[in-house]
Structure 1
Amino acid sequence: MPSSQPSPARGRGSKAAWIRAALGALLAATFGLAQAYAIHDDAGQVTHFDAPPARIVSLLPSLTETVCALGACERLVGVDRYANWPQPVQRLPKVGGGLDPSVEAVVALRPDVVLMDSSARAAAARLRALGLKVVALQPRTLADLRRVTERLGELLRQPQAADALLRRIDAGVQAAAQSVPATARGQRVYFEVDAAPHAAGRGTFIDELLTALGLDNVVDAAMGPYPKINPEWVVRADPDLIMISRQGAAELARRPGWAQMRALRQGHVCAFDAAQRDILVRPGPRMAEAAQLMADCAAHRPPAEK
């Protein structure tokens, strides 16, 4: 009858294998699940896990932030070039962009799973072909944010942490909405995402936050989620309020016709610094902070000091 313990005759290799197996079982027990499980991602792929991943590479800042918000920051071993929050991820190896990661650098980190945007199909296929597990998720709307957070909770075996995080986000967005005075509601807002310029259109999480705060997005639904905008179109739309990066705000008055727009004449332009912009454009765990930044802008209050 075979023994459940390695005998000296089996050699050091067998003993090492037994130790690795024991450590794997201990990790699974620590996270409360010793059985295998499967994760269904937004690319239609099903990935099987024998234990919660202990080494994670994340190629999308919002996913990186969510992993950390769920209490698993120490499991990250690599991130994309744009990841910069929370502070511990700044020390991690950077493996390129979300759409064009360095496959060699990712493989060298020996991840148990790679998290990435589901639109990065080519990169995901290359990583899977090399035997890596990939979970592709795509947070684009507030509903997506909820689903992605829950999915990451399942992956990390932290479902209660995911539920608690979502409750905090919901409460924070509601508090931000309540802080907008009645006189500030109904303002027509132009939210510029980048200097191309691209705007946040209808149906995006940015548009949904504006709506939750009682504000109106000037971008028409037919223009798509993040349309490239003709600056003359914005002049004709004549928004009451402009939300834009600090870099973009510096040259607004030089755009033809913009100096005469009511938002510029009345000083109703909110110029967000780089750190604030990251909060605003990433559909992740800092969504309540994004809502409060927008609410303070709508009420013409300066951002709260940190």
Structure 2
Amino acid sequence: MPSAPASLIAAAVLAAAGISHAQPAQRIVALQPSLTEALCSLDACDRLVAVDRHSDWPAGVAALPRVGGMADANVEAIVALRPDLVLLGARSRVAERLRALGLNVLVLEARSHADIHRNLEAIAQALGKPGAGERLWRGLDMRVQEQRRRVPAAWRGRRVYLELHGGRAAASEDSFIGETLALLGLSNVVPGRLGAFPRLGPEYALRADPDVLITTTVGATVPPPQRPGWQALRAVREQRYCTLSERQFDVVLRAGPRIDEAAAALVQCLQGLTPPGA
């Protein structure tokens, strides 16, 4: 059975949250970087009255008040700003408290590309711009497909291990990052049955022996060649690993309207490496 259109799912999400698109939101607090980015990508940066401490794109949001993060949002500061909509990620701890204080709260979770699609349209409808999220998504999807065509043919189907947070976790097939890797024609060595972002020790990569390692400077203290035992990995011996900068990592890790940029960063990584057997 085909899935329901994202526009209908988005409308149902808004209805469940008690939010009417008959009254477009004008004063919005966004408590997650990907939600801030979604609003701005929908040409609604001017409706933001505050953001979380980690929102840093586009550059203009730097001038906005900061009201904490997922674990420590400043409820009093949020209420004082008189928002007519607060956007939260699913891991935020303040949704019920804000609702109890009479604020409109929209909690959006993004575990997959389909979720990102739905969230963009839900935000668009809350802004009084139905269909704008759908159009934004179509453009993103097209640009991700363009990045797939830039992947060197010798890398297609190759096995990849993308680590997070200095190697303490990895992106599995079941994550939105894993979906991006799959759309680029790569095979993920971390199965979805382990969860979206499972905590894995260094021995996992040694057992999996991937064709390419994608690491990050964020939280990493030891480069792959200097990690105990990692010289046994062919990807290390043959220098088939790359490191995402902090800026690139932020883009890859955010489930929002820059997944095309995330795909481009991953393709750039591959383009700088020599495939196995070449």
Unaligned runs of 5+ in 2: 1-9, 274-278
Question: Whose relative contact order is higher, 1 or 2, with alpha carbons under 8 Å and at least 6 apart?
Answer: 2
Superposition map of 1:126-165 within 5 A: 126-165=97-136
Q: How far apart, in 1, do the equivalents of 2:104 and 2:16 lie?
A: 14
Tell me, yes or no, if structure 1 residue 62 matches structure 2 residue 55: no
Secondary structure (helix, strand or coil) at the match of 1:99 reads coil
Deviation sequence 1:90-112 (CA, Å, 0-9, x none): 11111111232111111121111
Residue in structure 2 matching 1:221, options 192, 215, 231: 192
Superposition map of 1:72-151 within 5 A: 72-120=44-92, 122-151=93-122
Q: How far apart, in 2, do the equivalents of 1:274 and 1:198 lie?
A: 16
Give the fraction of aligned pairs with identical amino acids, expressed as a percent.
43
Deviation sequence 1:16-56 (CA, Å, 0-9, x none): xxxxxxxxxxxxxxxxxxxxxx9543895332465211110
Residue in structure 2 matching 1:273, options 245, 249, 253: 245
Q: How far apart, in 2, do the equivalents of 1:233 and 1:43 lie?
A: 44
| 1:199 and 1:228 in contact (8 A); partners too | yes
Matched pairs, number: 263
Secondary structure (helix, strand or coil) at the match of 1:158 reads coil
How many Å apart are 1:250 and its aligned residue? 4.2
Q: How far apart, in 2, do the equivalents of 1:57 and 1:250 lie?
A: 38
Q: How far apart, in 2, do the equivalents of 1:43 and 1:243 lie?
A: 41
TM-score (norm 2): 0.89
Q: How far apart, in 2, do the equivalents of 1:78 and 1:196 lie?
A: 33
How many Å apart are 1:278 and its aligned residue? 1.0
| 2:125 and 2:131 in contact (8 A); partners too | no
How many Å apart are 1:140 and its aligned residue? 1.5
Judged with a 3 Å threshold, the aligned counterparts in structure 2 of structure 1 residues 43 and 50 are, in CA distance, closer, same or farther, namely closer
Aligned to 1:202: 173
Q: How far apart, in 2, do the equivalents of 1:123 and 1:41 lie?
A: 18
Aligned to 2:269: 297
Give 2:270's aligned amino acid.
A
| 1:42 and 1:137 in contact (8 A); partners too | no
TM-score (norm 1): 0.81
Q: How far apart, in 1, do the equivalents of 2:204 and 2:108 lie?
A: 34
Residue in structure 1 matching 2:230, options 237, 249, 258: 258
How many Å apart are 1:264 and its aligned residue? 1.4
Q: How far apart, in 2, do the equivalents of 1:40 and 1:165 lie?
A: 20
Secondary structure (helix, strand or coil) at the match of 1:41 reads helix
Tell me, yes or no, if structure 1 residue 52 matches structure 2 residue 24: yes
Judged with a 3 Å threshold, the aligned counterparts in structure 2 of structure 1 residues 183 and 50 are, in CA distance, closer, same or farther, namely closer
Residue in structure 2 matching 1:172, options 122, 143, 152: 143
Aligned to 1:182: 153
Superposition map of 1:225-236 within 5 A: 225-236=196-207
Q: How far apart, in 2, do the equivalents of 1:42 and 1:264 lie?
A: 48
| 1:57 and 1:114 in contact (8 A); partners too | yes
How many Å apart are 1:162 and its aligned residue? 1.8
Judged with a 3 Å threshold, the aligned counterparts in structure 2 of structure 1 residues 289 and 49 are, in CA distance, closer, same or farther, namely closer
Unaligned runs of 5+ in 1: 1-37, 302-306
* RMSD across aligned positions (CA): 2.0
Secondary structure (helix, strand or coil) at the match of 2:66 reads coil
Deviation sequence 1:235-279 (CA, Å, 0-9, x none): 111111111212427433332211231121122212111111111
Deviation sequence 1:187-218 (CA, Å, 0-9, x none): 11111121261101122111111111110111
| 2:166 and 2:221 in contact (8 A); partners too | no
- Pick the structure with greater CA Rg: 1
Give 2:49's aligned amino acid.
V
